[in-house]
Every structure is written in structure tokens, then in C-alpha cells.
Structure 1
Amino acid sequence: MNGTAEQHAIAVARALVMDAVQQAGNGHPGAAISLAPTAYALWTHTLRFDPDHPDWPNRDRFVLSNGHASALLYSVLHLTGYDLGMGDLKQLRQFGSRTPAHPEYRLTVGVDTTTGPLGQGVATAVGMAIGERYLEQQFAGYPGLVDFRTWSIVGDGCLEEGLSSEACSLAGHLGLGKLNVIYDDNEISIDGETNLAFSEDVRERFESYGWQVLEVADGNDGEALRASFDVAKAEVQRPSLIIVRTAIAYGAPKLQGSAATHGSPLGAEEIRGAKQFYGLDPDQDFAVSDEDYQQWRAAVDSHRAEYQDWLEIERQMLDGGRKDAAMWQRLRDQSTPDGALDAVRQAGAALSGDYPVRQMSGFVLQTVADRFSEVIGGSADLTGPTNSQIDGAEVFTREHAGRQIHFGIREHVMAAAGNGLALLGLRPFVATFLAFSDYQRPAIRLAALMGLPTTFVLTHDAITATGDGPTHQPVEQLISLRAMPNINVWRPGTGAEVGAAWASALEQAVTPTALCLSRSTVLAEVGSDKADDAARGGYVLSEAAAGKPEAVIIATGSEIGISLEAQRMLAEQGVNARVVSLPCWEVFEQQDVAYKDGVLPGGIPRVSVEAGSALGWCRYVAPNGSSVAIDTFGACGQGDDVMAHFGFTAANVADHVLTALR
């Protein structure tokens, strides 16, 4: 690096990484050490941020996609003035600390997204870049209000994960010129040199995606790093990849270039040698001088001035545009327009006629889109089948940032990009078939972990997706989603429940929602007067005909119809059965005990009816009930034939109730 003060500041960052990982007793120092010059060039020359206002909406976003190098990010945040003290660095990877093993959104100031599962970070960054384009266009009347870049560092592991191919292909197609990705090309993985399994030409790969590709031959060359960042910023039509050649654990006398440094502390002797190589005192740990802080914070005052200038732009917008100001406030605090949630609920309850549940959702989505300009999304090449088209919406293209996104057949990046949109305060929805939620699961899990209100629209939710056979028929997906913490899984079966599900998704601030929607037709008018009850996640859909119920049938989604028919059949035999609709377990469990006991009284048998796995239903039907469910894979055939084969008939439901009563 040029200049001894600069070299010393970078060396201090490397030493903080080594010391923190050594004290923790475990961690990933290698990449973090070698990337210190890249981080220095980025934070002191290129990145726009204000450590005093870490939530500044117009700050540049930074995503450490190779999140195992977290010790570098924490050290840089500390050195550049964020509220992250030396004590936090000393608590790296410890229980309850603000410096966990991988960066966690909401936990650590300055962390823009949770990363760790490789490839997720860069895919989320693509969503951030999409969101920036959309918001910049929405607030075009106030130049400079939204005008930021998204920077991401990736490693070999990120590029090996298939998700990065989806993400970077989409980014190139959409011409996301404000997305810049730095590739740490150190040729080392956990098992050894990357050529054990990775030998592609990364430059040609990204050029084929439509990216600008730049190269820095020496990751210690500060001038070359800064120059490449400037060239990347100047390109506005294409995303940019900057390939930076580094040596893992640079400066370690015996371990530089070794795979052993990827995931293990260097050891005291090696750290002493590295510090001597850097020109540091080997007897000092966690040592930073005032001059080093000044070097790292050289650009902070100018960023603070930029923040103050930006506040004036925001003030003009808030004073001059009532509609814009209202949307802006909702983006900031995750609020909803006055009366919007009631309108969404009523849009569902007002549906008349017989419609497939997925089509009811499409109708409600129009009301959602009319009321929420921050709602943006689309599907993985399934816009028609998932009813995820916003009527009249413009498409997001290279030339125009519309709110209807065609993600192509890229379910995984669609979900991760949805999270990137949510991180900007937008209200994203992403749609595919429920069976293909398996492709999305890592991103859904991160949405739940980060507390993002992403809405996952998942149609064709049962073996009623008969025409396509068992490959497209979800069985275990419902319960697998319900097993995940902090996600509301809705399986509505009436118009009122569809409206309640969408309203619930939109009122969440820190919880994602999965809307599992059937292609089967359900009587829309059933339960149309129960919109308020449906919003509670579970309710009495049809009371026993003659007084106190002797049994309870609990149904979700498309199985409501056969459950109501079973209730009628039982009544003809003198058995009083109540039908309870339970579209969302998680919301139902949030109700008070008295309400839940009123809906599901104890002491009488309960039978659940759902065209999915029986796993989990024991919480509602034990000890004296049973489940009409499917615990095998489905089959191809006509809908009624397949459903009957697996026992989803009114007669079989009634038999289960009678057996439980014996």
C-alpha cells in the first residue's frame, strides 16, 4: 500500500482480526486478513456511510457474502467509528455478544444483512439493487433522495454455490449498474486449493452474464483497488465484478496461502511473526493508535456533510409531497396506510362465486397493490398459475423499474432478492409452487432469522395438483415451514381467510409469511361473514347443528369443503360435530387461552383434515383423535380420483369421527 500511515492502518486491521479469532479460540481469520486492504480502500475512498446515522436510507449498502470473514467487518466498523467497541471485538463468537460468528442483521450496528450460508449475501444484494432502482424511480421528483450503490464481497465458495449463478445472471439481465461485487480470488477453500473442484474462467462467466469485469492483480495494491472501484462506479448500465487476487492469511510466516488458515486461529507464534512482518509490536494485542483511527476515519466528516445535505432533500420531500411523504414514512417504520388492512380483509370476504383459492388471492392482491405502492414482486415464471400479476403494473426491465418482476425460473434467488427488497422497507411478494419452496428454503429461513416481512406466495399446495403428478404435489412442505421459527404459515380456504392472510402478511414488521394456496375450488361464500374470526388464525367455521358438539373436525384450505360435507353426514346419523377452520397455527397460538379453548374444547375427540403430512397435528388432535392426512408421496391422475385414493372424502372423514367416538 502507498504511504506508511496507510500501511500501518491496514496492518492494525489485520492484527485485530488475528487477535479476535485467537481469543475466541475458533473462527476464520485467513480471508479476513487478506481482505484488509480491500476494506480500507472501500471504506476510506468509495463507500458512502455515516457511523452516527447507521440507518441512513441513502447510505451505500455493504454485504459480506463470505460471512465467515466477519472479524474483518467488525474490525472495520469499529475502526470507522460505528458503535462497536474494542470490548465487542474481544467478545467475537461469544454468547450474547454483538460480534457473532457470522454477521447478523438487527444484532450488530452497521450490518446490512445476515450472511453466512454462502451465496445468500450476493443474492440478497441483487434484491437491494433492484429495490434501489424501484425507489429511485418512485421518488424521481426528489433527486438524491434515493441514489445509493450496493457493494458485496464474495469468495470462491459464494461463486461455487448455484445460487450465485442465478443471482448474477438475473443482475446482468436487468442491468443493475449500481451493483458492484468484489471477488476475493485467493484460490483456497476448506479442503485445500480450489482447483480440487473449481476451475472455471470467472471472467468469461460474468462477461457472459453481461457484467463489466475488472481485475486487480495484487490485493495489496491500494491505488489499483481505488481505481477499479472508480471504474465500477462510472459504469451505470451493467453490474461490475472486480476480481482481486489475494494471498490468504497474508503476512503469516509459515501459513500464508495455507488452507489451514481458512477456519482456524493462526496460533500465538504465527501471530507474532505476522505482526513483526507488518511492522507492529508483537507483544501488543488489540492495539490501535489515534493515528490509525484517523486514517480509517479520514472520509467520515465528508460523509457526515453528505448526510446533512441529504436531510434537506428529505425535508423538501416531506414538506412538498403528501403521497410521497406517506410512502416514505411507511418505508421507514413499516406502518400501513389508514384503513388499508380492513380494505384487504373485506376484499377477500366480499368474493362471491366459486373460485380456486389461488385465484381468490389474485383478486385480493389487486386491492393490496392499489393500497400499498411499496408492494413489489413477481414469480419464478409462474405468474399466471400463481395468480401473482398486478393488473396494470409495469414490468421491471433494464429500462424501467416497474413493480412487476419476472425472476425467470430462479426460485432461490427470487426468495433471497425478496429479502433484499424487504431490507429496504419495501413489501415484497415472491411466488412459485409450494413443492418448489424446497428451492427457496435457505432464503425463507434467513427471512425468519432476520425478521423480514417477505411474503412467499406458494400455490398448488397439495395433492390436488394432480395433473403434474407427485413431483409437483407437496406433502411434507407445510409442516416443514411450520417447524421454522418466526414465520406465519397460512393455508386459507375461503375468501375471508385469503383476505385475512394477506392483511396479516402486510401488518407484520418482523415476521415473514407463507401463503399456501390451493388450485382447488372452494365455495367462496363459506365463512364470508367471519372475516374478523379468520384474522385470529383459527375459528368455528360451522357449529354443530344441535347444541354442544360431540366432536370437532379441524380443516385447512381446500379440505374445508369435504369437512363440511362430513359434518352434514354425521348430523344425519345423530352426531353433532363442529367444523373448525385453522388456516394459521402461528396466529391462532397467539390468541388468549380462553379463546383457543372456546374454539377447540377439551374432552371431546378431534379429527384433523389436511392434504399434507400428519406430522405436527398431534398437538391439536391428541390424545383421542386422529388425522386424515397423507404420509406418502402423491400420484398422477384426475383430482377426485387421487383425493379419494388417499382418503380425502367426506365419508372417510366421517368414519374417522365415528371411530374416535367409539
Structure 2
Amino acid sequence: MAIQFTDADQVAVNTIRTLAADVVAKANSGHPGAPMGMAPVAHVLFSKFLNFNPKDSKWANRDRFVLSNGHACALQYIILHLAGYKVSMDDLKNFRQIDSNTPGHPENHHTDGIEVTTGPLGQGISNAVGLAIAQAHMGATFNKDGFPIFTNKTYCFLGDGCLQEGVSSEASSLAGHLQLGNLIAIYDDNKITIDGSTDVSFTEDVEARYRSYGWEVIHVTSGDADLTAIAGAIAEARDNNTKPTMIVLRTTIGYGSLKEGGHDVHGSPLKADDIKQLKVKFGFDPEKTFVVPEEVYDLYHKAGAAGAQKEAEWKQNLDAYKGKYATEHSEIIRRFEGRLPEGWEKHLPTFKAGDAAVASRKLSENVLNAIAPHIPELVGGSADLTGSNLTRWKGAVDFQPPSTGLGDYAGRYFRFGVREHGMTAVCNGIAAYGGLIPFGATFLNFVSYAAGAVRLTALSNLRVLNIATHDSIGLGEDGPTHQPVETAAWLRATPNMMFWRPADGNETSAAYAVALTSAETPSTLALSRQNLPQLEGSTLEKASKGGYVLQEAENADITLVSTGSEVCIVVDAAKQLREQGLKVRISSLPCFEVFNQQSKEYRLSVLPNGAPIMSVEAYSTFGWNEYAHETFGLKGWGASGPYLKVYEKFDLTPNGVASRAAKVVEFYKKRGDKVWSPVDKAIDYDTMLSTAH
């Protein structure tokens, strides 16, 4: 049965358009064009289709909405306000102002009703793929006959810019392969980007591309006004459960403005006279601003009430489910409360000195094999490097469409293909859905391919694990194209990102222990290709502090601090130095971020006053001045050859470390001044302003 529209629906569309003009004009900043052009489809979706409850914005089976073209966020904030979320009229008036509830692009954990942080183009549609994957998995895992617990759809608005970014292609290709019939993308086909008409740079056949991905494509040629056609397209897409759907919606950017259809209305406020004529055209008083007729509030509140009723019915069904499937019910509740299974950490492997030397990528595999059966919400996979990353645990089932015969939607292991950026953005969506902890894996060097998504993981406070093997020049023969000398620096510089580089088995288990219990912080685990010895003095508990003393020495002449595969080199160098009569302390610093969270007293116990501190790491030394007086590392790219020969080429050997350490000791003794730890600062880490959300 076709949806019937009334005059109130048109008033609502025009209200959204005039509010968009007012919101951006008052801020004197923003993008009015797309909100004005997409007002009809936003109204139809939220008032007629989307299952949401503004009084409980985290209801588990709500439909998810993603604004991938996040510059159009005035549209989303207006809709959230009309629908009754915690977005007030004052919030709209404070758009893009300091500490407002309505920042310049949507941010989850900041504004009620925002599912994922968008703005960098292409990320939102990729997150939407992750949200759709999460629903498919949760439905396959928990739904029973008569108990459709997880049935929600994911809707995403996106524009030409999103479709030009490569990350959207990666994720959309994956979505088509996975036959995600719960995903509906609505493409704002307005033919405009910042530079002007898309004719200057973007003339491909988008429809053909998405059909080749395995998507259904529907056209609406009159997106500016034909509410019935828009509703029909959304209904058709919603009811197609065999493949994702793209609705190609032809709109006019800045519809109603004197500059409609041009790029001038994309990223600049409308002039005052333009806003006045716009309001006259749409039946509003040109002298009044931020006007919402009561009939519009009534219409949206009715939609919200319908969503609340659906949630109430869902909860009743969940209660009945509990009576028949008590174990599954308690599992759902536990997951969405963010609690890990009781006692999971007891399964983490521990090691003692003298145990066999093992590559940390293999140690990571051991951890996954040990804990995956006990943390069923842990899901993930590799960007076509499963055999190298060692991320597929024993007995894992692949997440695949059942029709392929390759797995099923209840499977927990993902074949992401060679799509590092898409993989990470998809993992962000999976994490944002709730009830799941995702990981993606590749070589550390190729985490840089995913930098845009990695940054948003941290900004969004999402528990996503990046498992990054082949972490240094130690990968050897593949050479400098694959050897990540600078990657650690940018990951360590990323706020709210834990970069772990474990030196042995206990440190690897510690990395997983902290990563999995850090509900609002992502982690990158940098893991070696080459074997590493189990170190005397390492424990899971000590490593969990991010840094600790591996070997103590009273009245030390020098402290050597290192990470990962270089710690064992430092241990051998220290033996040589002791033979020369020097007293050497050794500290391991597997995670700067976690170490920085410890008390100053503890940090000074690891990196104390009184003797010079020298760092050793097979990376760029950038960033080590926070922890060491002198640094020894790489000042250029790596080299191709057997890994031991590569280390020798750069003098990263026990002899090379020992000779430099001896020079450091001699230099500071000659200088004669008291040596203060770099940790001992007037402006301490704990007093710095944090930008973490």
C-alpha cells in the first residue's frame, strides 16, 4: 500500500530547508546546499520508514542511519531536533560553536542520535557496510523461529565526494560480495562538488559500477519534490533482502535558493536576501528565523512514538525469548552492556625464560586460539594476508553469504580482500553497532593505507584492534617498500590510540589483555615476522602497564629502553657493556599510550633520574625524545635482504648498540651535570589538555 502524503509533509520539507538556511547563516559557516536538496528524502525516511525511538537512542534493534556526506550535518541535526532527540533549538542556533552539541561534522559519543563519526568522505558509507555486517551476524547468531531479535536495516546518505573516495569503493565491493540485503544507500546525485560541476572530474557510470559490485540500483529522477516516488524507492530497497541497494536520487543542490544547482551554495552560507526570498517561496515569514510549525513537530513526534511502540514490542519479544533461550538472552545482554565473559583472561598464554623463541605474529595466533572460544563477540579477519598475519583461529567459520557455500552469516572470520582502508572503516561500523569487538589485520606498513579510518577509530572511541604483522626491517627480503620505519610515529601521535610493540610472549598477551578491556580505545598490535626469545624479567602483569624495568641495576651508568624485536638485541648489548665494567638497566616500553597513563612516580621508576637513557628501535627515532636523552634507530628507509643482514647494515646489533651506549655514558660523565629523566617535566602528561572524546 502506497504511503499517503498530506500538506503537512510538504510543510515539514520546507521547514527543514528554511531551518538549514538559518542554521548555517547564524554560524556563518557550513554547507546549506545538500541539506536543502536532501530535505525531501530525509523527511520521507525519518517520518515514514526509519524505526527509531528518540527516548532511547541506543535501542539495540533500531534502524541505523549514517550521513556519509557529513558536511550536510545541519540536515541531520535538524531532523534529530524535530524527532525529539536531545538536540534543542538552542543547539541548532549554536551550530559549529565551541562546546556546542552540534559540531561541524557528526560525532558519535557527542550528539544524541549520531551512530558514527563522519565527515571525511567515503568513511560513512564504509561504516554503514560494517553496521550491516554486524546486524547480519547478530541476526544469524541469535534469531530463532518466532523470535526476530536483530532485524534492523542500515540506511546511508552519500554524495559524489563519497563515491570518489577509494575507501567507499573497497567497502561497497565487499558489501556486494556479502549480499547485504539489509543495506540501503541513498545517493544525492546533484552533480556538484566543491570545484563545480562533476563534469570536470567525475563522469563515470556510477550505476554500472554498483551493479558490477552486486548491488541493486533504483532511480528517482524527481528527488526535489516527488515524495511518493522517494517513498516507493525506499520501500522497494527495504524489502530487497538479497543484495544491497543504491537509490540514485536526482536532486538540486540548494533547492529554492537563488544559487540553486551551483557549487556556490555547497559550502557557504546564503546571503540574507536569498534567505528571505527562500522563506517567501516556501510560505514562511521572511523576518522570522528558526521557525517550526507545530504540525511539523506533531508529525515527527508521531513517528518517534511509533518507534517507541516498536521498541516496546521488541522488548516483549525479547522477554519471551528469555523464557525459551535463557543462555542466548543473557549473552545478548552481556554483550550490549559491554562486559567481557567471566574469566576469559585466564586463558591468556604466559611464558618463562627458556621457552622457545617465537615470532610475535605466531604468539598473537596462540592468543587468538586461546581466547576466541571464550570471547564469542570477537570477530575479524585479514586483508588477504591470513597466512601471513596468522589471524584465523582453529575452528573459525568464515562470515559469508550462505548461498556461496563458503561459510555463513554466523561466521566470525572475515575475508576482507586486499582492502586495508575499507577493512578498517568497516570494522569501525561493526564496533559502532554494539555487541561485537572487531579486528582487522595486515602488514604494519599497510596500516598507512587505512590511516583515514584509523584516525576516526580513535576519535570515535571505538574498540577496534589493528593486528599488524611484519612490523619492521625484520621482515627482511621484501625491502623498504614493505618495511615500516615511520608508521609507529604517526600511530603513537594519534590521540586515544594504543600502539603495542611486544617483545615476547608475555608482552603479546598483555597487549591483548589491555586492548580487549579498553572499551573506548582502539589498539594497534605491531608484531614481528622473526622469532623472539622469551625474556627473563617479563611478565604479563608488568607489561600491562605499558612499560617496566626488565633488568634492574643499582646506581646504573645508563638505562637502555627499547621495544619489540630490539629488546633482545639490547639484552645482548648489555652483557657486553657489563663486561666493560658498566652498570646497565634495561626497560621495555611496549606501549607509550598506556605507559603515559601510569603515575609519574611509576614512570620515573622505569625511566629514572641519575643516568642517561638511550632508546633503541628499528624505526624512525621521532617521538623518543619524550622518553630518552639519546636515540638510536633509523634515519632513512630499510633495505632488502635476509633480516639479520638488514640489521647488520644499519648496525642494529649488540655491538652497534653497545658501542653507542658506551659513548653516551662517556659523554654524560664528561659533562658532569646531574642527569634528569625526560619524564621529569614541569608540564606533566597528566596535566595536558585532552582532546579524547
The bucket for the TM-score relative to the shorter chain is over 0.9
| 1:247-294 deviation line (CA, Å, top 9, x unaligned) | 011111x21111100000111100111111112221211111211112
The answer to whether the 8 Å contact 1:552/1:578 transfers is: yes
Matched residue, 1:517: 527
Matched residue, 1:359: 362
The answer to whether the 8 Å contact 1:462/1:518 transfers is: yes
Matched residue, 1:306: 310
Q: Does 1:282 align with 2:286?
A: yes
**How many residues get paired?**
654
Q: Does 1:419 align with 2:428?
A: yes
For 1:100, what is the secondary structure of its paired residue? Answer: coil
Q: Give me the whole-angstrom Cα distance separating, in 2, the residues matched to 1:351 and 1:124.
A: 45
Matched residue, 2:60: 57
The answer to whether the 8 Å contact 1:460/1:517 transfers is: yes
**Structure 2: runs of 5 or more not aligned:** 403-407, 667-693
Moved more, 432-441 or 291-300: 291-300
For 2:585, what is the secondary structure of its paired residue? Answer: strand
Matched residue, 1:23: 26
**Could you tell me which amino acid in structure 2 is paired with residue 533 of structure 1?**
K
Deviation at 1:367, TM superposition (A): 1.8
Matched residue, 2:611: 604
Q: Give me the whole-angstrom Cα distance separating, in 2, the residues matched to 1:53 and 1:430.
A: 31
Deviation at 1:347, TM superposition (A): 4.7
Deviation at 1:2, TM superposition (A): 4.9
Q: Does 1:371 align with 2:361?
A: no
2:507 to 477, 497, 500: 497
Q: Give me the whole-angstrom Cα distance separating, in 2, the residues matched to 1:475 and 1:432.
A: 16
**Could you tell me which amino acid in structure 2 is paired with residue 407 of structure 1?**
F
Deviation at 1:154, TM superposition (A): 0.4
**Could you tell me which amino acid in structure 2 is paired with residue 629 of structure 1?**
G
**Equivalent residues in 2 for 1:169-188, closer than 5 Å:** 169-188=173-192
Q: Give me the whole-angstrom Cα distance separating, in 1, the residues matched to 2:463 and 2:392.
A: 20
For 1:312, what is the secondary structure of its paired residue? Answer: helix
Q: Give me the whole-angstrom Cα distance separating, in 2, the residues matched to 1:210 and 1:531.
A: 46
Q: Give me the whole-angstrom Cα distance separating, in 1, the residues matched to 2:246 and 2:354.
A: 49
Matched residue, 1:134: 137
Deviation at 1:150, TM superposition (A): 0.5
% identical aligned pairs: 42
**Equivalent residues in 2 for 1:218-367, closer than 5 Å:** 218-219=222-223, 220-252=225-257, 254-318=258-322, 320-344=324-348, 346-347=349-350, 352-367=355-370
Q: Give me the whole-angstrom Cα distance separating, in 1, the residues matched to 2:598 and 2:171.
A: 40
Q: Give me the whole-angstrom Cα distance separating, in 1, the residues matched to 2:354 and 2:171.
A: 38
Matched residue, 1:444: 454
**Could you tell me which amino acid in structure 2 is paired with residue 190 of structure 1?**
I
1:161 to 156, 160, 165: 165
| 1:454-506 deviation line (CA, Å, top 9, x unaligned) | 00111111111111110000000001100010011100011000000001110
**Structure 1: runs of 5 or more not aligned:** none
**Equivalent residues in 2 for 1:380-395, closer than 5 Å:** 380-395=383-398
Q: Give me the whole-angstrom Cα distance separating, in 1, the residues matched to 2:351 and 2:164.
A: 44
The answer to whether the 8 Å contact 2:497/2:522 transfers is: yes
The answer to whether the 8 Å contact 1:63/1:152 transfers is: yes
The answer to whether the 8 Å contact 2:350/2:540 transfers is: no
Deviation at 1:342, TM superposition (A): 3.9
| 1:590-642 deviation line (CA, Å, top 9, x unaligned) | 111222211221120111111101111111112xxx22200200110111111
Change (3 A) 1:475 1:85: same
Q: Give me the whole-angstrom Cα distance separating, in 1, the residues matched to 2:147 and 2:423.
A: 29
For 1:611, what is the secondary structure of its paired residue? Answer: strand
Matched residue, 1:100: 103
For 1:297, what is the secondary structure of its paired residue? Answer: helix
Root-mean-square deviation over aligned CA pairs: 1.5
Q: Give me the whole-angstrom Cα distance separating, in 2, the residues matched to 1:565 and 1:469.
A: 26
Change (3 A) 1:350 1:14: farther
Matched residue, 1:113: 116
2:489 to 475, 479, 487: 479
| 1:502-547 deviation line (CA, Å, top 9, x unaligned) | 011100111100101111111135445x221111111111233xx4
**Equivalent residues in 2 for 1:580-591, closer than 5 Å:** 580-591=587-598
2:628 to 607, 610, 621: 621
| 1:537-562 deviation line (CA, Å, top 9, x unaligned) | 11111233xx4322111110001111
Change (3 A) 1:12 1:617: same
Moved more, 367-376 or 491-500: 367-376
Q: Give me the whole-angstrom Cα distance separating, in 2, the residues matched to 1:211 and 1:176.
A: 9
The answer to whether the 8 Å contact 2:492/2:499 transfers is: yes
For 2:188, what is the secondary structure of its paired residue? Answer: strand
Change (3 A) 1:351 1:564: closer
Deviation at 1:333, TM superposition (A): 2.4
Q: Give me the whole-angstrom Cα distance separating, in 1, the residues matched to 2:537 and 2:137.
A: 38
Deviation at 1:319, TM superposition (A): 5.1
Deviation at 1:366, TM superposition (A): 1.4
Deviation at 1:321, TM superposition (A): 4.1
Q: Give me the whole-angstrom Cα distance separating, in 1, the residues matched to 2:318 and 2:6.
A: 39
The answer to whether the 8 Å contact 2:618/2:652 transfers is: yes
**Could you tell me which amino acid in structure 2 is paired with residue 576 of structure 1?**
K
1:577 to 553, 577, 584: 584
Q: Does 1:542 align with 2:523?
A: no
For 1:610, what is the secondary structure of its paired residue? Answer: strand
**Could you tell me which amino acid in structure 2 is paired with residue 242 of structure 1?**
I
Change (3 A) 1:350 1:158: farther
Q: Give me the whole-angstrom Cα distance separating, in 2, the residues matched to 1:317 and 1:239.
A: 29
**Could you tell me which amino acid in structure 1 is paired with residue 150 of structure 2?**
V
For 1:63, what is the secondary structure of its paired residue? Answer: strand
The answer to whether the 8 Å contact 2:83/2:303 transfers is: no
Q: Give me the whole-angstrom Cα distance separating, in 2, the residues matched to 1:534 and 1:316.
A: 45
Matched residue, 2:571: 564
The answer to whether the 8 Å contact 1:124/1:419 transfers is: yes
Q: Does 1:409 align with 2:418?
A: yes
Q: Give me the whole-angstrom Cα distance separating, in 2, the residues matched to 1:320 and 1:209.
A: 40
| 1:371-416 deviation line (CA, Å, top 9, x unaligned) | 1100000010001111111211110111111100000000001000
| 1:40-74 deviation line (CA, Å, top 9, x unaligned) | 11011111101111000100000000000000000
The answer to whether the 8 Å contact 2:353/2:536 transfers is: no
Q: Give me the whole-angstrom Cα distance separating, in 2, the residues matched to 1:421 and 1:258.
A: 37
TM-score by length of 2: 0.92
Q: Give me the whole-angstrom Cα distance separating, in 1, the residues matched to 2:53 and 2:230.
A: 22
The answer to whether the 8 Å contact 1:215/1:228 transfers is: yes
Change (3 A) 1:569 1:319: farther
The answer to whether the 8 Å contact 1:348/1:360 transfers is: no
Deviation at 1:302, TM superposition (A): 2.1
Deviation at 1:322, TM superposition (A): 4.8
**Could you tell me which amino acid in structure 1 is paired with residue 472 of structure 2?**
A
For 1:310, what is the secondary structure of its paired residue? Answer: helix
**Could you tell me which amino acid in structure 1 is paired with residue 296 of structure 2?**
D
2:559 to 552, 562, 566: 552
